[in-house]
Amino acid sequence: MAPVTAVAALALVAGASAFVPSSFSGAQVARVASSSAMQMSADGLVGASVETGGVWDPANLASKASEEDLAWYRAAELKHGRVCMLAAVGCLVQGYWQLPDPVFSNTKAVDAVAQIYTERPGAIYQILLAIAAIEVLGSSIQKYTAPGDLKWDPLGLAPEDPEELATLQLKELKNGRLAMVATAGFFLQEALTGQGAVEQITSGHLSPFGDGQGVF
């Protein structure tokens, strides 16, 4: 679990510059909080009109947000989506493959964290320290760039064509949003059934209701 968690933390910087929102480009990118050239609105963000037919904001946060707050919301969405995309993959991979160490052999994501904390707390502290370092580094870069752009694109994935870039941004947002829901589902599933995602499927325990195995 520790390697999976550590890798998930790296999502804060992975592929970031390939997914700069289309409202920002090239030399126009400056400090988000102070640039008067960029008029940011929820309606103009990539992904605002997908699936919902417009901006879905039941708490009415966007209309009350300043441009700086709106940029922070988008950066936070991208960050959490990237982390959860790796976390969702990690939850599944963990069900099939573990490190050759009894402490890291747990197939259940949440239970594995508890086991590591109990049996090898030093590993948890190392993970938290690594996450904190990445967060500080990312925050220091994010102050001067567009939301989610951490200037890290080692594979050169960011297309130069604006339409292609917008398409790529949209794919990341949709997959990130799905991954956030999926990861929450994996954790809830484990809490209800006592089994990891893969373990539950392979054991035929497809429903937590009325079979004597889960909470219900």
Which residues does the annotation place in the binding site for chlorophyll a? 56, 77, 80, 171-172, 175, 177, 189
- Compute the distance between CA of residue 15 and CA of residue 80 in angstroms, rounded to an integer: 14
CA-wise closest residue to 142 among 76, 61, 84: 76
Binding residues: 56, 77, 80, 82, 171-172, 175, 177, 189
Binding residues for chlorophyll b: 82
- Rounded to the nearest 10°, the torsion over CA 186, 92, 83, 57 is -40
